């Protein structure tokens, strides 16, 4: 099994450009998450989805939108990228209510210039 797969792995954007980060999991998990990781700030929750068709804001949702396309896929969109969104982005998934391991994707390193 592939687990959690994110694309792309690296991306450079110009300020104002838009892009979508893709995430897919093959573990039949119902909960999926997007985090950003910045030096000294840990993993901050952007948005999460407890099940297909539902999404909720996390700690730092401003400037982002998400789509839970189906049970497998959860995408993160930057409509107008800003330098403050330069970060490493991680997607994760787990089984809602089971209190078991959250599996992470390999991360996307995004630079906005």
Partner 1 sequence: GENVEQHPSTLSVQEGDSAVIKCTYSDSASNYFPWYKQELGKRPQLIIDIRSNVGEKKDQRIAVTLNKTAKHFSLHITETQPEDSAVYFCAALGERDDKIIFGKGTRLHILP
Phi then psi dihedrals of residue 83, to 5 deg:
-55, -30
- Whether the CB-CB separation of 44 and 59 falls below 8 Å is answered with yes
Instruction: Tell me: does residue 53 bind partner 1 (CB under 8 A).
Output: no
- Whether the CB-CB separation of 31 and 113 falls below 8 Å is answered with no
The CB-of-47 to partner 1 minimum distance in angstroms stands at 10
Distance CA 41, CA 36 (A): 9
Instruction: Tell me: does residue 26 bind partner 1 (CB under 8 A).
Output: no
Q: Which residues of 52-81 are buried (b: 16+ CB within 10 A; e: fewer)?
A: eeebeebebbeebebebeebbbbbbebeeb
Segment contacting partner 1 by CB under 8 A, of 11-19, 20-28, 53-61, 69-77: 53-61
- Only one residue has tokens 């390999």, namely 106
Segment contacting partner 1 by CB under 8 A, of 9-17, 19-27, 34-42, 74-82: 34-42
Instruction: Tell me: does residue 99 bind partner 1 (CB under 8 A).
Output: yes
Q: How many positions of this chain bind partner 1 (CB under 8 A)?
A: 25
Instruction: Tell me: does residue 102 bind partner 1 (CB under 8 A).
Output: yes
Instruction: Tell me: does residue 31 bind partner 1 (CB under 8 A).
Output: yes
The CB-of-109 to partner 1 minimum distance in angstroms stands at 10
């Amino acid at each position: 099994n592939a687990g959690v797969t994110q694309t792309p792995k690296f991306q450079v954007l110009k300020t104002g450009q838009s892009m979508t980060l893709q995430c897919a999991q093959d573990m039949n998990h119902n909960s999926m998450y997007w985090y950003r990781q910045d030096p000294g700030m840990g993993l901050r929750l952007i948005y999460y989805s407890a099940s297909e068709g539902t999404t909720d804001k996390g700690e730092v949702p401003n400037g982002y939108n998400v789509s839970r396309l189906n049970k497998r896929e959860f995408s993160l969109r930057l409509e107008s990228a800003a330098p403050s969104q330069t970060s490493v982005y991680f997607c994760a998934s787990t089984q809602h209510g089971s209190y078991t391991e959250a599996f992470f994707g390999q991360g996307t390193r995004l630079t906005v210039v």
